[in-house]
Chains A and B, each alone.
Chain A
Amino acid sequence: MIRTPRIPVISPFFFQVGEAGLVAGRTFRALFQRPFEKRNFVLQLEDIGVRSLPVVSLTAAFGGLVFGLQAYIGFHKYVGSGTEVYSGSIIAVGLAKELIPILVGLMLAGRVGSSMAAEIGTMKITEQVDALTSLGADPIKHLVAPRMLASFIMFPMLTLYGDIIGTFCGFAYNIFGMGVNRAIYLRNTLFYTRIWDIGIGLIKASVFGIVVAIIGSWQGLRAEGGAEGVGLATTRAVVIASIIILILNFFLSKALPN
Chain B
Amino acid sequence: MIRIVGLHKDFGGKAVLRGVNLEIARGEIMVVIGQSGSGKSVLLKHLIGLLAPDRGEIYIDGREVTCLPRQARLGVARRFGYLFQGAALFDSLTVAENVAFGLERYTAYDRNEIRRIVTESLERVGLRGVEDLMPQELSGGMKKRVGLARAIAYRPEIILYDEPSTGIDPIRADSINDLILQLKREMEVTSVVITHDMVSTFKLADRVAMLYEGRIVEVGTPAEIRASANGVVQQFIHGRATGPITDY
Seen from chain A, the residues whose Cβ lies within 8 Å of a Cβ on chain B are 1, 3-4, 6, 35, 123, 126-128, 130-131, 133-138
Contact = CB atoms under 8 A, between A and B. Distances in A.
Given A128-B91, A130-B88, A131-B90, A136 B50 contact: no
A133 B48 contact: yes
Contacts of B150: 135
A134 B48 contact: yes
B160 to A, nearest CB: 8
Contact of A135 (B11, B71, B86, B102): B102
Interface stretch (B19-27, B77-85, B114-122): B77-85
Given A6-B54, A136-B102, A131 B84 contact: yes
A123 B85 CA distance: 14
Given A134-B82, A137-B105, A128 B74 contact: no
Interface string B48-87: 1111101000000000000000110011011011101110
Contacts of A127: 84-86, 88
A6 B11 CA distance: 10
B88 A131 contact: yes
B202 interface: no
B50 A130 contact: yes
The secondary-structure label for the interface of chain B is mixed
Contacts of A131: 82, 84, 88-90
Interface of B: 11, 45, 48-52, 54, 70-71, 74-75, 77-78, 80-82, 84-86, 88-91, 101-102, 105-106, 150-151
B56 to A, nearest CB: 13
22 contacts: A3-B51, A4-B52, A126-B86, A127-B86, A128-B90, A131-B84, A131-B88, A131-B89, A133-B48, A133-B74, A133-B77, A134-B50, A134-B77, A134-B81, A134-B84, A135-B78, A135-B101, A136-B77, A136-B78, A137-B105, A138-B71, A138-B74
Given A136-B106, A137-B101, A128 B70 contact: no
The 8 A-B residue pairs with the shortest CB-CB distance, nearest first, are A136-B78, A134-B82, A127-B88, A131-B88, A135-B102, A136-B77, A127-B84, A136-B74
**Chain B CB within 10 A, most for which of A1, A4, A128, A131:** A131
Nearest to B101: A135
Contacts of A4: 11, 52
Contacts of A134: 48, 50, 77, 80-82, 84, 151
A133 B54 contact: no
A134 B75 CA distance: 10
Nearest to A122: B91
B50 A133 contact: yes
Contacts of A137: 74, 101-102, 105
A218 B193 CA distance: 32
B42 to A, nearest CB: 12
Nearest to A127: B88
A98 B150 CA distance: 49
Given A4-B52, A135-B78, 18 more contacts: A3-B51, A6-B54, A35-B105, A126-B86, A126-B88, A127-B85, A127-B86, A128-B91, A130-B50, A134-B80, A135-B77, A136-B74, A136-B75, A136-B105, A136-B106, A137-B101, A137-B105, A138-B70
